[in-house]
Amino acid sequence: MQTYYLAVDIGASSGRHILGHVENGKMVLEEVYRFDNTQIRRNGHDCWNLTALWQHILAGMQACKKLGKVPATMGIDTWAVDYVLLDCDNQILGDAVAYRDKRTAGVDRAAEALVPAEQLYSRTGIQKQPFNTLYQLLAQKKEHPEQLEQAVHFAMLPEYFHARLTGILQNEYTNATSTNLVNARTKTWDRDLLAAYRLPVRIFGPLAMPGTRLGSLTEAVQQEVGFDCTVVLPATHDTGSAFLAVPAQDDCSVFLSSGTWSLLGVENTRPITDEASRAANFTNEGGAWYRFRYLKNIMGLWMIQSIRRELNGVSYVEGSGVQTRAAEKKWSFDDLLAAAQASTFSGLVDVDDERFLAPQSMCEAVREVCRTGGQPVPEQVGDLMRCVYRSLARCYAQSIRQLEQLTGKTYRTIHVVGGGCKDGYLNQLTADASGLPVLAGPVEGTALGNLLVQMIAAGEYPSLVEARTAIAESFPIQRFAPAPFAEQSKS
83 sits near ligand LRH (criterion: CB under 6 A): no
CB of 295 to ligand LRH, least distance (A): 8
Tell whether omega for the bond before 442 is within 30 degrees of 0, i.e. cis: yes
3-state secondary structure 377-425: CCCCHHHHHHHHHHHHHHHHHHHHHHHHHHHCCCCCEEEEECHHHHCHH
Q: Which of 33, 79, 121, 243 binds ligand LRH (CB under 6 A)?
A: 79
461 sits near ligand LRH (criterion: CB under 6 A): no
Quick one: which segment of 24-32, 85-93, 258-266, 302-310 binds ligand LRH (CB under 6 A)?
258-266
Handedness of CA 42, 43, 45, 48 (dihedral sign): negative
- Determine the Cα–Cα distance for residues 120 and 138; give it in Å rounded to an integer: 15
Quick one: which segment of 42-50, 139-147, 234-242, 421-429 binds ligand LRH (CB under 6 A)?
234-242
264 sits near ligand LRH (criterion: CB under 6 A): no
CA separation, residue 65 to residues 30, 60, 223, 227 (Å)? 14, 9, 12, 7
Q: Which of 19, 80, 148, 452 binds ligand LRH (CB under 6 A)?
A: 80
Single out the residue of 16, 483, 57, 449 nearest to residue 241, CA to CA: 449
Within 59-134, strands assigned E span: 71-78, 83-86, 92-93
Single out the residue of 59, 35, 391, 409 nearest to residue 225, CA to CA: 59
Q: Is 324 exposed, middle or buried (0-12, 13-18, 19+ CB in 10 A)?
A: exposed
The site map against ligand LRH for 8-47 (x = CB under 6 A) is ---xx-----------------------------------
239 sits near ligand LRH (criterion: CB under 6 A): yes
Pick between residue 99 and residue 255 the one whose CB is nearest to ligand LRH: 99
- Determine the Cα–Cα distance for residues 86 and 88; give it in Å rounded to an integer: 7
Pick between residue 33 and residue 243 the one whose CB is nearest to ligand LRH: 243
The SS3 of residue 80 is coil
Quick one: which segment of 76-84, 116-124, 141-149, 400-408 binds ligand LRH (CB under 6 A)?
76-84
282 sits near ligand LRH (criterion: CB under 6 A): no
CB of 160 to ligand LRH, least distance (A): 16
CB of 142 to ligand LRH, least distance (A): 21
Catalytic residue among 77, 82, 101, 238: 238
* 46 is an active site residue: no
**Which residues inside 93-132 make contact with ligand LRH, applying CB under 6 A?**
99
Residues 452 and 7: beta-carbon distance below 8 Å: no
Phi, psi of 145 (to 5 degrees): -60, -30
Pick between residue 162 and residue 237 the one whose CB is nearest to ligand LRH: 237
- State the residues that interact with ligand LRH by CB under 6 A: 11-12, 79-81, 99, 237-239, 259-261, 263, 297
